[in-house]
Amino acid sequence: MRSSSSTASRRPPGRGLQPNVLGTFDTIVMAVAGSAPAYSLAATTAVLVGAVGFAAPAALLYCAVPMLGIVLAFSRLGRIDVNAGASYSWVGRTLHPALGFLSGWALIVAATIFMVAGSLPAGQLTLALVAPDLAGHTALATAVGAGWFLLMLLVVLGGARLTVRAQLLMTGVELLILLLFIAGVVVHRGAATAFDWSWLGFAHFDGASGFASGALIAAFYYWGWDVTSNLSEETRDSRRTAGFAALVGIGVVFLLFEAFTIAVNVVLSAGQIGAAGGANVLALLGDAVWPGVGGKLLIVAVMLSSVATLETTLIQVTRSLFAMGRDRTMPAVLGTVHRRWNTPHMAIAAVGVVALALFVAATALGSVGDILDSAVNAMGLQIAFYYGLAGIAAVVAYRGLLLRSVRDFVLGGAWPLAGAAFMFWMFFESLGGLTGTTVAIGLGGLGAGVVPMLWYWRKGSAYYRPARLDAVRAMAAAGPYDPARQDHRAEGNETLATDF
């Protein structure tokens, strides 16, 4: 395997991202915000309960098991390759550069679609708080959502320190409101249904197809925790911190998802849930627990969650583009860093231009709203694709260590591989139930990445001649881990080396 100096030398000189900006607590907050607990609950609870009824908590529970396998895969890969591109780099260096590029491309497409789709409810919820009569005005809601998007764009442009401070405020208030409501539900009287432990079993699923429907929906609750890997070059002791923060973050959101889904089963009847739909489910829950003010408080939580996850999604897509530009697999200008803010300003600007163009299209063309609805569903295909590849990449990278102990075999091999198998099962299982437009956007979005991939491959990017990622050789070359080495490598204008 090539040494770290060799890896760094094949990259063009220039400024790297600012190292050691984020600590462990900061990174955990980013992981929680990436999964957007309040937004995910508001956007998906009615759909999940409608699909599996009282089995909604079980769907979230059993989907969390393979998702943890993917978290373990990201954690282990991050120990031997610190890279803002995360799965883009790992998959390229273990499986094949083409699969690695498409893995990064899948994240970029999914994140870009989500930034537009996620901004619209942020605008609607803002209007619902300040001018309820205007909340149904699509053009105005789009304009307000675009305003939130631009604000988050400027925050991300201002650097990782500013980004995490804004995230601490938004996510802190969101979690405080959610925890208050969990406490309120515990003491709430007049429940629609008494809690039953069978809600966490398989009894309420309508056979294998019912379980599949619930799992497909539940999987999308968790997306976003992997922002910690995209921030790895800016995190202290990132080989340990990024993976640990992802594990803690997904544990926190899992508990919140379970608590609120059970609360919905307990407090609201099936008829109320079906009649409310969307974000109104949480507002209805809030009014039932704290009449008068509860609904508005949960709307605030969902709005903050929507805005917070816009920020983490911007982090993911811009850091991925930065890594691609740095490797010359996308225009090199995307790999440049602002001298004052130490952020990939050209990648941020490019994302802003594309997203704003989609905002304009959504406002100007009546049919675009339907296309965006299909695009949101299509994101699931792209997410399953790059998560699944990362799970396989972890097994390949650590293959020489899997038989060293039972722990290595389970945590480094069996669990990540099971997570990858689940993601690909979800990918193919969902194809049959999606509309033609959704499949076209999902697969077409992936297919569009073949054009830049072939173009820059032909131009001779060093990314397509990778130093193979192998845990045995990486650890042998490293010896005892010394954080000071990582700090030293990233001083001045040097880019951060991405292996030991």
- In the chain, the domains with their CATH numbers are 4-477 (1.20.1740.10)
Residue 73 has which token pair? 């895969």
Query: Distance (Å, rounded) from C-alpha 164 to C-alpha 43?
Result: 25
**Position with higher pLDDT, 500 vs 479:** 479
Whether 104 contacts 230, CB under 8 Å: no
| pLDDT value at residue 453 | 95
> Model confidence over 373-424: pLDDT tens digits?
566 667 878 888 999 999 999 999 999 999 999 999 999 999 999 999 999 9
Most confident of the following: 228-232, 280-284, 370-374: 228-232
Q: How far is CA 307 from the centre of its chain?
A: 14
| pLDDT value at residue 197 | 85
pLDDT at 287 over 80: no
Between the alpha carbon of residue 132 and those of residues 141, 182, 287, 289, 296, the distances in Å are 11, 26, 16, 21, 11
Whether 336 contacts 348, CB under 8 Å: no
Query: Distance (Å, rounded) from C-alpha 303 to C-alpha 39?
Result: 7
**Position with higher pLDDT, 480 vs 90:** 90
Reduce the secondary structure of the chain to three states and give it as a string. CCCHHHHHHCCCCCCCCCCCCECHHHHHHHHHHHHCHHHHHHHHHHHHHHHHHHHHHHHHHHHHHHHHHHHHHHHHHHHHCCCCCCHHHHHHHHCCHHHHHHHHHHHHHHHHHHHHHHHHHHHHHHHHHHCHHHCCCHHHHHHHHHHHHHHHHHHHHCCHHHHHHHHHHHHHHHHHHHHHHHHHHHCCCCCCCCCCHHHHCCCCCCHHHHHHHHHHHHHHHCCCCCHHHHCHHHECCHHHHHHHHHHHHHHHHHHHHHHHHHHHHHHCCHHHHHHHCCCHHHHHHHHHHCCCCHHHHHHHHHHHHHHHHHHHHHHHHHHHHHHHHHCCCCCHHHHCCCCCCCCCHHHHHHHHHHHHHHHHHHHHCCCHHHHHHHHHHHHHHHHHHHHHHHHHHHHHHCHHHCCCCHHHHHHHHHHHHHHHHHHHHHHHHHHCCCCHHHHHHHHHHHHHCHHHHHHHHHCCCHHHCCCCCCHHHHHHHHCCCCHHHHHHHCCCCCCCCCCC
Q: N- to C-terminal Cα distance for the chain?
A: 10
Residue 87 has which token pair? 């799965």
Average pLDDT, the chain: 82
Mean pLDDT of 129-135: 78
- Out of 189-198, 260-269, 419-428, pick the least confident: 189-198
Query: Distance (Å, rounded) from C-alpha 327 to C-alpha 306?
Result: 32
Q: pLDDT-based confidence at 77, cuts 50/70/90?
A: very high
In 3D space, the residue among 336, 315, 31, 321 whose CA is nearest the CA of residue 155 turns out to be: 315
Query: Distance (Å, rounded) from C-alpha 145 to C-alpha 116?
Result: 8
Q: How far is CA 74 from the centre of its chain?
A: 12
Q: pLDDT-based confidence at 81, cuts 50/70/90?
A: very high
Query: Distance (Å, rounded) from C-alpha 279 to C-alpha 286?
Result: 11
Whether 167 contacts 33, CB under 8 Å: yes
- Out of 233-247, 391-405, 419-433, pick the least confident: 419-433
